[in-house]
Amino acid sequence: MIRIGLGRDLHRLVTGRRFLLGGAEIPFAKGEEGHSDGDVLAHAVTDAILGAGGLGDIGEFFPPSDSAWKDADSIELLQIAWKKVTDCGWNLVNLDCVVTCELPKILPYRQSIRDSLAKAMGVKSELIFVKGKTAEGLDAVGRGEAAEAMAVCLLEKP
Ligand code: MG
């Protein structure tokens, strides 16, 4: 059996915050605002795997109204979610992601982002791909006010 899942997230970019993508810190003047550490890619991936597993979504498991998740490490949230998925017998076929932000360029950090996500999930980095895009100067992402991430994941169960 195979199942597909999709995740998407967007966070404002503000000064005084770290810019985290899949647990990798990207050197930049701004970072993601959020109740947790704001890691937009980790959140999209978490929603994709939970959706593929038919288990729920990130807001259900880690509600922003719960102070337990204030400044939470999003990689830890991903690991908790991934354990729920693998406990149901699912294996990762692959995970494909797109990060959209006007700056900085993602390409130089692609491998470290892939490695960070792979380490968090206990899978080979070859199963995870990450692409960087811009919004061509359009909308809030294009004005550099936000970063967006999308992730699609395929799971298989023998
Ligand atoms: Mg989020």
Token duo for residue 60 = 């259900």
- In the reported structure, the alpha carbon of residue 53 is separated from the centroid of ligand 1 by a whole-number distance in angstroms of 19
- Local structure of 58: helix, strand or coil: helix
The pLDDT of residue 68 is above 90: no
- In the reported structure, the alpha carbon of residue 158 is separated from the centroid of ligand 1 by a whole-number distance in angstroms of 32
- In the reported structure, the alpha carbon of residue 38 is separated from the centroid of ligand 1 by a whole-number distance in angstroms of 6
- pLDDT tens per residue across span 26-41: 999 999 999 999 999 9
| Widest distance between CA atoms in the chain | 46
Contact 112, 79 (CB under 8 A): no
- In the reported structure, the alpha carbon of residue 44 is separated from the centroid of ligand 1 by a whole-number distance in angstroms of 7
Q: Residues within 5 Å of ion ligand 1 by Cβ?
A: 9, 43
Tell me the C-alpha distance between 58 and 91, whole Å: 19
64 — pLDDT class (breaks 50, 70, 90): confident
Assessment of whether the complete model's pTM goes beyond 0.95: yes
- In the reported structure, the alpha carbon of residue 148 is separated from the centroid of ligand 1 by a whole-number distance in angstroms of 9
- In the reported structure, the alpha carbon of residue 11 is separated from the centroid of ligand 1 by a whole-number distance in angstroms of 6
